[in-house]
Amino acid sequence: MLRIVKAGSGLDTIDLEACERRGITVSRTGGSETSVAELTLALMLACLREISRLDQSVRARNFAAKTGAIGGTLDGRTVGIVGFGAIGAKVAKLLAGFGAHILVFDRSIHQTDKRTILTALGATPNFDLDTLLKKAQVLTLHVPLTPATRGLIDERRLSLLPSNAILVNTARAALVDRLALEEALVQKRLTAAGLDVHFEEDGVTNSRLLDLPNVISTPHVGAQTYEAQEAVAGRIVSLIADTRNRLELA
């Protein structure tokens, strides 16, 4: 029995069709849900309060930057969550504590476990993505990258967002059309974006996103907390032990 164990949740870096042809089992560990969800909220707050810009101003001893620095709160804000798996659900639970109005789009939102969580949080399910986008003052993405979701948030869908909207992406960069996102930020049709994932993560990129003042970026560190790494390592060991036991019983 052959098995590939992916640390985390995204399987877009693995050729699943080739694994299926060769009889290779592919498993994901999960374990980083809380860490990714907390970074998602951190990026939301950083965008709403312009923390990066204001930090730079204070370091330059420019306390006059306080003038006109009027941010926003998550309390009372409408946040659209696209994808309600383990990470999306955790984001919703954290947002509920901030008093946000939560909208959720998920292709399997009819599942009992997901509807139970939505009901407990007072979140509103949306069966049409465009309807959610028209209301979302903050949009956060938590779906896997597949052929169906690549470029999911394109120019047309970005144009549906309210004019003061913020986009946060801690999932995969290619869920969003890069040129459309750049243009929306340059034209200030989007107020800001908080990005933990990027189109090129090898240090060589010509993307304008990294030069825009209304973009706050982190280098794909959503899962990089001590707690998440410990949980992931434990699950890897458990999956390896499970594979060994199956082989011994075969």
Q: Is residue 24 included in any domain, yes or no?
A: yes
Q: Coil, strand or helix: which one is 141?
A: strand
Q: Is residue 148 included in any domain, yes or no?
A: yes
Same domain, 129 and 244: no
- In this prediction, residue 248 carries a pLDDT of 65
More confident residue, 237 or 143: 143
**142 is known as an active-site residue:** no
Active-site pick, 201, 230, 244, 246? 201
- In this prediction, residue 194 carries a pLDDT of 98
Same domain, 78 and 202: yes
Same domain, 27 and 41: no
Mean pLDDT of the chain: 90
Same domain, 143 and 117: yes
Same domain, 74 and 110: yes
Active-site pick, 28, 77, 172, 198? 172
Tens of pLDDT along 120-149?
Answer: 999 999 989 999 999 999 999 999 999 999
Return the closest-CA partner of residue 14 out of 178, 146, 174. Answer: 146
Q: Is 245 a residue whose pLDDT tops 80?
A: no
Q: Coil, strand or helix: which one is 56?
A: helix
Q: Is residue 240 included in any domain, yes or no?
A: yes
Q: Is residue 64 included in any domain, yes or no?
A: no
Same domain, 54 and 81: yes
Q: Coil, strand or helix: which one is 80?
A: strand
Q: Is residue 239 included in any domain, yes or no?
A: yes
pLDDT band, very low/low/confident/very high, at 1 (cuts 50, 70, 90): low
Q: Number of folded domains in the chain?
A: 2
Domain of 135: which CATH number?
3.40.50.720
Same domain, 96 and 206: yes
- Radius of gyration of the chain, Cα coordinates, nearest whole angstrom: 20
**21 is known as an active-site residue:** no
**Phi/psi at 154 (nearest 5 deg)?**
-100, -170
Same domain, 12 and 99: no
For the four alpha carbons of 31, 34, 35 and 36, in that order, the dihedral sign comes to positive
- In this prediction, residue 204 carries a pLDDT of 58
Percent with pLDDT over 70 in the chain: 96
Same domain, 22 and 89: no
pLDDT band, very low/low/confident/very high, at 91 (cuts 50, 70, 90): very high
Where does the chain have alpha helices with state H? 16-21, 33-49, 51-59, 86-98, 112-121, 129-135, 155-160, 178-186, 226-249
Sequence-separated contacts (24+) of 215-218 with Cβ below 8 Å: 215/185, 216/43, 216/46, 216/47, 216/51, 216/52, 216/192, 218/39, 218/43
User: In the Cβ-directed half-sphere of 107, how many Cα atoms lie within 13 Å?
Assistant: 6
Same domain, 182 and 138: yes
- In this prediction, residue 11 carries a pLDDT of 75
Q: Domain of 137? A: 33-59+69-217
Q: Is 212 a residue whose pLDDT tops 90?
A: yes
Q: Is residue 195 included in any domain, yes or no?
A: yes
Q: Is residue 238 included in any domain, yes or no?
A: yes
Tens of pLDDT along 51-67?
Answer: 999 999 999 999 999 88
Q: Please, which residues have CB within 8 angstroms of residue 192's CB and are 6 or more apart in sequence?
A: 47, 48, 50, 166, 167, 185, 214, 215, 216
Same domain, 196 and 234: no
Active-site pick, 115, 189, 220, 235? 220
User: Of how many residues is the chain composed?
Assistant: 250
**150 is known as an active-site residue:** no
Tens of pLDDT along 154-185?
Answer: 999 999 999 899 999 999 999 999 999 999 99
Say if residue 113 is exposed, middle or buried (CB neighbours under 10 Å; 0-12, 13-18, 19+). Answer: exposed
pLDDT band, very low/low/confident/very high, at 238 (cuts 50, 70, 90): confident
Same domain, 82 and 193: yes
Q: Is residue 235 included in any domain, yes or no?
A: yes
Query: In this structure, how many other beta carbons lie within 10 angstroms of the beta carbon of residue 97?
Result: 11
